[in-house]
Chains A and B, each alone.
Chain A
């Protein structure tokens, strides 16, 4: 069954600290993996999209990694800000389909 699992479920960090969120997936055949940021009550906003051949992709303070062999991805947030408080969702697209498969997300809270 195509699934996307994320850890941890929730995370609390202090402003200025770094953190890393994890994603494991079983989706096959694999097309691409995305990380989205979702503020409470809002739609998801794309941070990165990575295909099979990409190992790392950065978007400002966000850096995503992908290991297609082990089917794992991570999202590293550097120098966290209060505005980073949100859910971060790992999403995988299988080949030749429109159906994005969402993880349950990691709820990040950044405190001053």
Chain B
């Protein structure tokens, strides 16, 4: 069964460094998403992406964050200058269509900022 994959599974970085989190969505899906989950807290929406553009973003997704689909398969989340509070689990998800269609989540990347 097709699945969303994410790399790396765990990333440790120093405060102020740039990180790129990578995701490979399910191949025929058109909508892509990033979420984060700070330890012990609820999952929070960051951004949605369709047709090579951001379609929606939350207030968390400030200028420090960017997303890109550099080729036909990868979908990346870049954090330009990491802060301690960026430490969280980051989940990528994809769906065929938006709305009532199911979003399939990847296993997540645990980002630890020291």
The answer to whether A and B interact is: yes
**Residues of A in contact with B (beta carbons under 8 Å apart):** 31-32, 34, 41-46, 49, 51, 89, 91, 93, 97-105
A103 CA to B56 CA, complexed, in Å: 20
Asked if A43 and B55 make an inter-chain contact with CB atoms under 8 angstroms apart, the answer reads no
Q: Name which of B93, B99, B108 has the most chain A CB atoms within 10 A of its CB.
A: B99
Asked if A44 and B43 make an inter-chain contact with CB atoms under 8 angstroms apart, the answer reads yes
Asked if A99 and B56 make an inter-chain contact with CB atoms under 8 angstroms apart, the answer reads yes
In the assembled complex, B103 has its CB within 8 A of some CB on chain A: yes
Residues of A within 8 A of B4 (CB): 43
A41 CA to B91 CA, complexed, in Å: 11
Q: Whole-angstrom distance from the CB of B71 to the nearest CB of chain A?
A: 23
Interface of A is mostly: strand
In the assembled complex, B52 has its CB within 8 A of some CB on chain A: no
Asked if A103 and B105 make an inter-chain contact with CB atoms under 8 angstroms apart, the answer reads no
Q: Whole-angstrom distance from the CB of A9 to the nearest CB of chain B?
A: 11
Number of interface residues of B (CB under 8 A): 27
How many inter-chain contacts with C-beta < 8 Å in the A-B complex? 57
Residues of A within 8 A of B91 (CB): 43-44
Asked if A99 and B106 make an inter-chain contact with CB atoms under 8 angstroms apart, the answer reads no
Residues of A within 8 A of B107 (CB): 42-43
Asked if A98 and B98 make an inter-chain contact with CB atoms under 8 angstroms apart, the answer reads yes
Residues of A within 8 A of B45 (CB): 98-102
Residues of A within 8 A of B48 (CB): 98-99
Supposing A98-B48, A98-B56 touch, asked if A45 and B105 sit within 8 A by C-beta, the answer is yes
Asked if B102 and A41 make an inter-chain contact with CB atoms under 8 angstroms apart, the answer reads no
A42 CA to B105 CA, complexed, in Å: 9
